[in-house]
Amino acid sequence: MSLKDRITEDMKAAMRARDAGRLSAIRMLLAACKQREVDERIVLDDAAIVGIVDKLIKQRKDSIVAFQQAGRADLVEKEGAELEVLRAYLPERLSAEQVRAEVDALVAELGASGPGDMGKVMGAAKGRLAGKADMGLVSAAVKAALAKSAP
């Protein structure tokens, strides 16, 4: 079963269970997927859907920070609930140690040295680790690896 089919089935289950919060989050995800399909005239595969989920999760995290600063506990709770629903659609993430090992291997493969090669390494890392790891964590690992490999 594809990820999109699983999301659609979860939406139907949420409708039957009359779980309005979950249903709203799933509909928002499906709307984002459909919007991208229409805009780019493509059919999304699982990797593209995971990318959309990642983007929506980042938006929710940013919103939670903003709402906490504004003292809006009701909106923090709503965004947190949406965040949990979205996290269910992500594959299992790599640990920090696994990310560091992958990045070190990439730096060695590409022969990168120093901060000037950040873009080259991040491009390769994005292709290899997208959907498998938090890209913020990957970026930090790349910076650290390039700092220690600098001449």
Do 68 and 37 share a domain, yes or no?
Answer: yes
Position 150 scores a pLDDT of 65
For residue 133, what are the CA distances in angstroms to 13, 42, 51, 90? 29, 25, 11, 10
Position 129 scores a pLDDT of 84
What is the full per-residue pLDDT of the chain (151 aa) written as tens digits?
899 999 999 999 999 999 999 999 999 999 999 999 999 999 999 888 988 998 999 999 999 999 999 999 999 999 999 999 999 998 888 888 998 999 988 888 888 877 888 888 888 888 888 778 888 888 899 888 888 876 6
**Rounded distance, CA 49 to CA 3, Å?**
8
Do 65 and 119 share a domain, yes or no?
Answer: no
> Which phi and psi angles does 42 have, rounded to 5°?
-135, 170
Range of the domain at 39: 3-87
| Beta carbons within 8 Å of 5's beta carbon, 6+ residues apart | none
CATH number reported for the structural domain that contains residue 108 in this entry: 1.10.10.410
Do 121 and 52 share a domain, yes or no?
Answer: no
Position 116 scores a pLDDT of 81
Do 8 and 73 share a domain, yes or no?
Answer: yes
Do 46 and 72 share a domain, yes or no?
Answer: yes
Do 66 and 107 share a domain, yes or no?
Answer: no
Total domains in the chain come to 2
Q: What are the start-end ranges of the H helices in the chain?
A: 3-17, 20-40, 46-70, 73-87, 96-110, 118-129, 135-149
Do 37 and 82 share a domain, yes or no?
Answer: yes
Do 72 and 12 share a domain, yes or no?
Answer: yes
Query: Please, how many CA atoms are within 13 Å of residue 53, restricted to the half-sphere of its CB?
Result: 25
Do 15 and 79 share a domain, yes or no?
Answer: yes
Do 57 and 126 share a domain, yes or no?
Answer: no
CATH number reported for the structural domain that contains residue 60 in this entry: 1.10.1510.10
Position 135 scores a pLDDT of 82
Position 55 scores a pLDDT of 92
Do 75 and 111 share a domain, yes or no?
Answer: no
